[in-house]
Amino acid sequence: MPYVTTKDGTEIYYKDWGDKKGPVVLFSHGWPLNSDNWENQMFFLANHGCRVVAHDRRGHGRSSPAWDGHDMDTWSDDLLTLVEHLDLKDMVMVGHSTGGGEVARFIGRHGTSRVSKAVLVSAVPPIMIKTDTNPEGLPKEVFDGFREAMTKDRAQFFLDVPSGPFFGFNRPNAETSQGLIWSWWQQGMVASFKAAYESIKVFSETDFREDLKKANIPVLVLHGDDDQVVPIGASAHNTVKLLPKGTLKVYPGAPHALPNICAGQVNQDLLEFLRS
């Protein structure tokens, strides 16, 4: 399996599919998942002539179960190591949920010399937690509850999340997919406990407002207006105001898991944005 080693010795697993001479699309996954969650989009774009690359964040999937480095700066540095290893240029960066934060921090920390466009899907920026400067955010007690539930019984918590708000399966008349639930559970359970636990603080408390202001490239923001995990009012609506060249597309009635529940539409939107 392909790996790249970071400066602290962490091995980062990655997939590199499609036409190596095609347009480059780099994917960043959400919590507590891995690159497998992007396979629908990767398969689709690779079959449309793209080179698609996705990694498992440190402590997730097939990457090293690192004890340290679970913060946005380290994650963006890990991603830069991969980008430089593959010498990716003129790439479109795509991030879902926590991965959207990773994309924002990569741009804010490492610039856009290798990035032509970006897509933030159900993404956590600008900042999730409620603060004096972010009164629309979610109370810290929400994320304390996540940590408590995970410490008490991670296996059950990682069934409850996909069975309910993540895919929107808790909504009346929702068409439930047991396969998606178990796929989420499997991806979550192979993440190291420490990485998954510490990532809750990272995705909820990291402030991306200055990163978004530095994104001097076209950025497409995709978000469902029934997102129960990252509510659109405190995320996408505020994100697009901070982006110099941002465009928001709202998916009516859609949940947090746009790459899964709305895979066909997301695929088309990515392809159109890539070709625009």
Distance of CA 59 to the CA centre of its chain: 15
Closest CA to 138 of 242, 255, 238, 234: 234
Contact (CB, 8 A) for 167 and 261: yes
Integer Rg of the chain from CA: 17
List the catalytic residue out of 55, 60, 70, 256. Answer: 256
List the catalytic residue out of 97, 199, 204, 235. Answer: 97
Interatomic CA distance for residues 48 and 43, integer angstroms? 9
Tokens standing for 236? 């996408």
List the catalytic residue out of 36, 56, 77, 227. Answer: 227
Interatomic CA distance for residues 133 and 11, integer angstroms? 37
Decide if 192 is catalytic. Answer: no
* DSSP state, residue 126: S
Decide if 90 is catalytic. Answer: no
Decide if 97 is catalytic. Answer: yes
Catalytic residue ranges: 97, 227, 256
